[in-house]
Amino acid sequence: MSVLSGLAGALADGSIQLVDLTTPLSSETPILSLPDPFANTVGLSLSPVSHYDQAGPAWAWNDVSIGEHAGTHLDAPVHWISGKDGKSVDEIEPSRLVGPLVVIDKTTEAEQNPDFLLEPEDFEAWEREHGAFPANCWVIYRTGWSRRGGSTTDFINADEAGPHTPGVSARGAKWLAEHDSVSGFGVETVGIDAGQAGTFDPMFPAHDYLLGADKYGLTSLRNVEKLPVVGAMITVAPLPIVGGTGSPARVYALVERS
């Protein structure tokens, strides 16, 4: 039996489960909102072209308007000034978009402190328990934050000081960026940086360090609680937008049932 036929059989008999990590995309999906004077992106809107009517009696289709960084989406290096000479989303090698998962579970900590930050010590503790990060891995930060996704107010969690959402410290982001085995970093929140990351040095260090090091970001993930901390695989499928700084993406995990 070939490897691929074995995979097909395992998917068919349920011994490997597909877990959809994607937030459903609609006009109600929470998106990032920057303060004045910065410009903001748009969410999803659909404009009907025809709907089984005179304009198209046997078919329905829509025109779509959406920002590159809406919903579950991938951040490409050119999204940030540190990666401005790097890859646009269409230039990312498909091999970098499929790989093993490393899940860092800080759900309890994030429930107690919405500004909780990952530090290098958290990654090192994972490696001591589970072994070195595997080659071409995606590090997923599990916080339980996706449970807030039904309410933009709860999901963004802002007050007069700005948003309060968990993320990674500047030291933690630098550690990930310098780790040769890491291809990307994924979160349940609206962006790969913490809500208060505008006050860090450097500002927005996950963007600054990771995208500047040819690594990629994933945001607004769901069903992360269904993933084991080690042993799953991820598939990230952005649109290959020529020159794109990012793209909405469908994201799946392959999880082997014990």
Active site residues: 79
User: What is the distance in angstroms between the CA of the first residue and the CA of the last residue of the chain?
Assistant: 21
What H or E segment, with its residue span, contains residue 88? none
Q: Give 207's DSSP letter.
A: I
List the one residue out of 236, 190, 183, 188 whose CA is nearest residue 210: 183
Contact yes or no for 222/71 (Cβ under 8 A) = no
Q: Which two tokens stand for residue 122?
A: 């958290």
Measured CA to CA in angstroms, residue 193 lies from 33, 90, 225 at distances of: 13, 23, 20
Q: Which two tokens stand for residue 64?
A: 């779509």
